[in-house]
């Protein structure tokens, strides 16, 4: 499902127009992005939580030449699925 399909599904489920659904989804994504980029965790009970993690600096290899390169440390985004979400996914086998 891409973003437009999500907008269509939310609009249908809520009975609102697609523009309203798109605005709500954009606000939702923006709010989560802002909170996680500040270092806050976002927890949605039953769905999951978004948080930041850290990836340490390391030595890698250039696949074309085989030369060693230094890969800088970086922040990562972690998503941990909630129990209800996991159960819903596993029930659809």
pLDDT tens-place values along the chain, 93 residues long: 999 999 999 999 999 999 999 999 999 999 999 999 999 999 999 999 999 999 999 999 999 999 999 999 999 999 999 999 999 999 866
pLDDT for position 93: 63
DSSP for the chain, written as a single string = --HHHHHHHHHHHHT--HHHHHHHHHHHHHHHHHHHHTT--EEETTTEEEEEEEE--EEEE-TTT--EEEEPPEEEEEEEE-HHHHHHHHHT-
User: What local confidence, expressed as pLDDT, does residue 21 receive?
Assistant: 96
Same-domain pairing of 88 and 45: yes
State the residue range of the domain holding 14: 1-40
C-alpha radius of gyration, the chain, whole number: 19
Residues 86 and 55 placed together within one structural domain of the fold: yes
- The reply to whether 46 and 21 lie within a common domain is no
Same domain, yes or no: 47 and 92: yes
Same structural domain for residues 4 and 34? yes
Domains in the chain: how many in total? 2
pTM over 0.75: yes
């Amino acid at each position: 499902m891409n973003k437009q399909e999500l907008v269509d599904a939310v609009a249908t489920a809520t009975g609102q127009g697609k523009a309203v659904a798109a605005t709500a989804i954009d606000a939702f994504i923006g709010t989560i992005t802002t909170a996680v980029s500040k270092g806050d965790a976002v927890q949605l009970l039953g769905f999951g939580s978004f948080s930041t993690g850290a990836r340490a600096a390391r030595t890698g290899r250039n696949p074309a030449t085989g030369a060693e390169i230094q890969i800088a440390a970086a922040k990562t985004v972690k998503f941990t699925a909630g129990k209800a979400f996991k159960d819903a996914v596993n029930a659809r086998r």
